[in-house]
Amino acid sequence: MADKYDVFDQLGELENTLNTTLTQISGIRQVLEASMTENATLRMELEKLRDRLAEFEKKEVKKETPKDQPNPNLIQIFNEGFHVCHLHYAERLAEGESCLDCLELLYR
């Protein structure tokens, strides 16, 4: 008779283990479904962005600045306090500092 109770105990333990495993599988499935949904959404957004970029590239007209005027992007960077010269590019200018290399590059 003791053997029958041991079998029932073992079956109960196995049932608990299987229920725990099933709960874990359900959790993993939910995470996987959420990831797949997010992945599909991101793929659609990426495709739209690629299409949009292709449109911009087709419409892009290169605007040439006259040679006697400095590049407006470099002027903006310089005015924000950063070097635009090759020697110290993107390094912060000291308070009130003016770099002759930067100025030469801007006004060539």
- The pLDDT value given to residue 65: 47
Binding residues for Zn(2+): 83, 85, 99, 102
Residues 99, 93: Cα–Cα separation, whole Å: 8
For residue 6, which amino acid is it?
D
- The pLDDT value given to residue 24: 97
- The pLDDT value given to residue 89: 83
Residues 6+ apart with CB under 8 A from 78: 84, 93, 102, 106
Measured on CA atoms in the order 76, 79, 85, 87, is the torsion positive or negative?
negative
Binding residues: 83, 85, 99, 102
* Mean pLDDT, the chain cut into blocks of 10 residues (108 residues total): 82 96 97 95 93 81 56 83 85 83 81
The model carries a pTM of: 0.44
Residues 80, 102: Cα–Cα separation, whole Å: 13
Domain ranges of the chain: 1-61, 62-108
- The pLDDT value given to residue 104: 84
